[in-house]
Amino acid sequence: MAFSHETPDRCPMQIGFTPEFAVRLRASMGLADPKAHNPHGGGNSYQLERALGQDMLITSVGWANGYYQSNEPYVDQWGVGWNACKYTTPFGKGHYSEITSHPLADDNAISLYRPPDPNRPELYREAEQMIRNFKQEYFIVGATVTTMQAAGSALQT
């Protein structure tokens, strides 16, 4: 409506959830979704977002889909080390991912470092499927989070 210079009934809405909160919210809404929730969209079924009447759906490719890979420490495809930091709230337990190491910590590593190939077709399959499934009903938003610059800055502080 906004693109057509019409007055919408409300501001467009998009809400992101941690996987733990998404599980609780789906359960309280009576939604049965066997897929784990990715707050950045990769591999998400979008059942929760659609049930809530959101106007935009988020999809991502690459690093954004590497969050929440494990409840244990792991190293992703870029060579970045992650730790699952556990937390407890009055509503339950969960975890968030925190960067613990990076492949260029040693100045000499740059000559040997090889980033993952950005042209691998499997990187784009979930985003392509999501766009095919929902492009007629929703505004599709691409997420870009935790860039290499942000990761490096986080490790310097």
pLDDT, one tens digit per residue, over 60-71 is 887 666 666 777
State the pLDDT at residue 66.
65
pLDDT (tens digit per residue) in 57-110: 988 887 666 666 777 888 988 888 988 888 888 888 888 888 899 899 988 999
| Confidence (pTM) | 0.72
Contacts 24+ apart (CB under 8 A), 13-18: 13/53, 13/54, 13/55, 13/56, 14/49, 14/54, 14/55, 14/56, 14/57, 14/58, 14/141, 15/49, 15/52, 15/54, 16/40, 16/58, 17/48, 18/94, 18/96
Is there a contact between 101 and 80 (Cβ–Cβ < 8 Å)? yes
Residue 88, beta-bridge partner list: 93
- With contact defined as beta carbons under 8 Å apart, do 43 and 126 qualify? yes
* pLDDT at 148 exceeding the cut of 80: no
Note whether 82 and 98 are within 8 A (CB): yes
